[in-house]
């Protein structure tokens, strides 16, 4: 491998990764503009092995979208509806609690809750939702709201972003989601998401949350009308904020879904482009511990391959995904725990269940987990492999001292 890389066009970058040295934006652009996907994979895999060894993670979680009514009209969004539309929805607090109860029975450790910028729900709908979910199960992690939702809630509460985040934290908010970053370039952002928050506002919401002691993930929507240089610029700004706060737990690149939306994209992201984006992200974002291959946008098959191109996480079971599927994603609405374990085992990695912060809940024996996952996939959904039988939410941390970061 070393000899092959020494003769490659990227030998300088490979040497930097081996020496734990940071690559710059010019080098990241070279990687994005290359068609040598195998060389990128080798370098990214080297970077990932140094951080995460041979482990790959997943989380047992559930998505809840409380409403798809939104006052904005982002061009790429197929999820949002206006009040006049007959397929808009809005969940009552009871609806949300019912979904949460069902998911808790299936062993989730996290609820991931986002929605549109609702035109009339009051601020106490959101704080009430968090409080009632925490009352249902104090251990349940509530990963909620994108940066633009936080700005909307601050406007509703007629207070600052900092005070809004503090109030939401007090009500039970555990982590911010990374959605809404799209692409930071101002001109591109204006085309795909007019009226949405600026890059500075997105970053400032996350900065403020990190300053309050919170952690969050971040994203990049790729494969629409942006250029490779726009992607590098986006990653540069995320890396810079991470240098400042160290508050990002992971990075989740999101493949653009070309169906059912207002941006005419003739060349949506291919499998090769998705692998390249994962690989460059892993190589460039040296201050991020985790890169997620988001199976909803990529499909589980490609996400599995991405585990050899720098990704170390497959995201979650999800149960009910609306946003990508309304944009034309053809992946299933959920993954069973068994199917994620099987995908990880098949890639040669050791499957580990993680929590919201990418911390280890349970590592499973690879051979045992694989055969049990295969067995479970032929039977009922949501059964846990025996070797993971204690890994449900309520027994997630048998020894608090054993909880450690995956790296």
Residues 58 and 353: beta-carbon distance below 8 Å: yes
| Comparison of 7 and 86: residue with beta carbon closer to ligand SF4 | 86
| Comparison of 193 and 279: residue with beta carbon closer to ligand SF4 | 193
| Comparison of 69 and 284: residue with beta carbon closer to ligand SF4 | 69
| Comparison of 61 and 146: residue with beta carbon closer to ligand SF4 | 146
- Which residues in 160-311 belong to E strands, given as ranges? 175-176, 215-222, 248-255
Nearest approach in angstroms of CB 122 to ligand SF4 is 19
| Comparison of 74 and 345: residue with beta carbon closer to ligand SF4 | 74
Nearest approach in angstroms of CB 114 to ligand SF4 is 8
CB proximity list for 241: less than 8 A, separation 6 or greater: 203, 206, 207, 247, 248
Nearest approach in angstroms of CB 180 to ligand SF4 is 7
| Comparison of 88 and 271: residue with beta carbon closer to ligand SF4 | 88
| Comparison of 196 and 354: residue with beta carbon closer to ligand SF4 | 196
Nearest approach in angstroms of CB 117 to ligand SF4 is 5
Q: Which of 329, 259, 268 is nearest to 295 (CA)?
A: 329
| Comparison of 9 and 200: residue with beta carbon closer to ligand SF4 | 200
Tell me the H-state helices in 193-227.
Answer: 199-211
| Comparison of 296 and 338: residue with beta carbon closer to ligand SF4 | 296
What is the distance between the alpha carbons of residues 171 and 281, in angstroms, rounded to a whole number?
Answer: 34
Please report, for residues 6, 95, 135, 373, the alpha-carbon distance to residue 131 in angstroms, rounded to integers and kept in the order given.
Answer: 56, 15, 6, 36
Nearest approach in angstroms of CB 148 to ligand SF4 is 5
Residues 110 and 316: beta-carbon distance below 8 Å: yes
Residues 52 and 290: beta-carbon distance below 8 Å: yes
Starting at the edge strand that comes first in sequence, how are the strands of the sheet with 110-114 ordered?
61-65, 110-114, 141-144, 175-176, 215-222, 248-255
Nearest approach in angstroms of CB 225 to ligand SF4 is 16
Tell me the H-state helices in 295-359.
Answer: 295-298, 300-306, 323-326, 337-346
Nearest approach in angstroms of CB 292 to ligand SF4 is 19
Return the residue matching tokens 């653009």.
256
What is the distance between the alpha carbons of residues 60 and 65, in angstroms, rounded to a whole number?
Answer: 17
Task: List contacts with ligand SF4 (CB under 6 A).
Answer: 70, 72-74, 77, 79-80, 116-117, 148, 193, 196
Please report, for residues 71, 128, 137, 195, 199, the alpha-carbon distance to residue 156 in angstroms, rounded to integers and kept in the order given.
Answer: 13, 15, 27, 17, 21
Nearest approach in angstroms of CB 324 to ligand SF4 is 12
CA atoms within 13 A on the CB side of 302: 21
Nearest approach in angstroms of CB 149 to ligand SF4 is 8
């Amino acid at each position: 491998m070393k000899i092959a890389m020494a003769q490659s066009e990227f030998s300088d970058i490979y040497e930097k990764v081996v020496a734990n040295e940071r690559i710059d934006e010019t080098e990241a652009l070279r990687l994005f503009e290359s068609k040598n996907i195998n060389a990128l994979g080798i370098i990214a895999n080297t970077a990932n092995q140094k951080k995460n060894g041979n482990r790959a993670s997943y989380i047992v979680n559930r998505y809840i979208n409380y409403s798809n009514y939104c006052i904005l009209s982002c061009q790429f969004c197929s999820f949002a509806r206006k009040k006049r539309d007959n397929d808009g929805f809005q969940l009552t607090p009871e609806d949300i609690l019912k979904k949460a109860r069902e998911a808790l029975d299936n062993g989730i450790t996290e609820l991931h809750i986002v929605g549109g910028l609702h035109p009339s729900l009051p601020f106490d709908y959101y704080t009430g939702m968090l409080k009632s979910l925490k009352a249902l199960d104090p251990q349940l992690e509530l990963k909620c709201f994108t940066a633009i939702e936080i700005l909307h809630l601050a406007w509703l509460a007629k207070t600052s972003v900092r005070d809004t985040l503090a109030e939401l934290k007090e009500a039970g908010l555990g982590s911010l989601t990374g959605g809404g970053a799209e692409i930071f370039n101002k001109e591109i952002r204006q085309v795909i998401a007019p009226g949405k928050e600026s890059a500075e506002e997105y970053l400032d919401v996350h900065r403020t949350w990190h300053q309050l002691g919170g952690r969050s993930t971040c994203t990049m929507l790729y494969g629409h009308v942006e250029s490779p240089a726009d992607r590098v610029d986006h990653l540069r700004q995320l890396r810079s904020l991470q240098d400042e706060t160290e508050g990002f737990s992971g990075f989740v690149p999101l493949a653009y879904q070309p169906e059912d939306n207002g941006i005419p994209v003739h060349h949506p992201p291919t499998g090769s482009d998705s692998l390249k984006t994962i690989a460059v992200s892993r190589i460039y974002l040296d201050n991020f511990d985790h890169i997620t291959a988001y199976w909803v946008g990529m499909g589980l098959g490609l996400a599995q391959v991405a585990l050899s191109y720098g990704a170390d996480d497959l995201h979650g079971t999800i149960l009910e995904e609306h946003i990508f599927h309304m944009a034309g994603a053809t992946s299933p609405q959920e993954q069973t725990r068994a199917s994620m374990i099987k995908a990880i085992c098949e890639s040669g990695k050791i499957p580990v269940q993680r929590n919201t912060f990418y911390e280890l809940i349970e590592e499973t024996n690879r051979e045992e987990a694989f055969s049990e996952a295969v067995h479970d996939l032929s039977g009922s959904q949501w059964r846990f492999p025996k070797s993971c039988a204690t890994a449900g939410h309520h027994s997630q941390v048998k020894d608090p001292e054993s909880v450690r970061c995956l790296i």
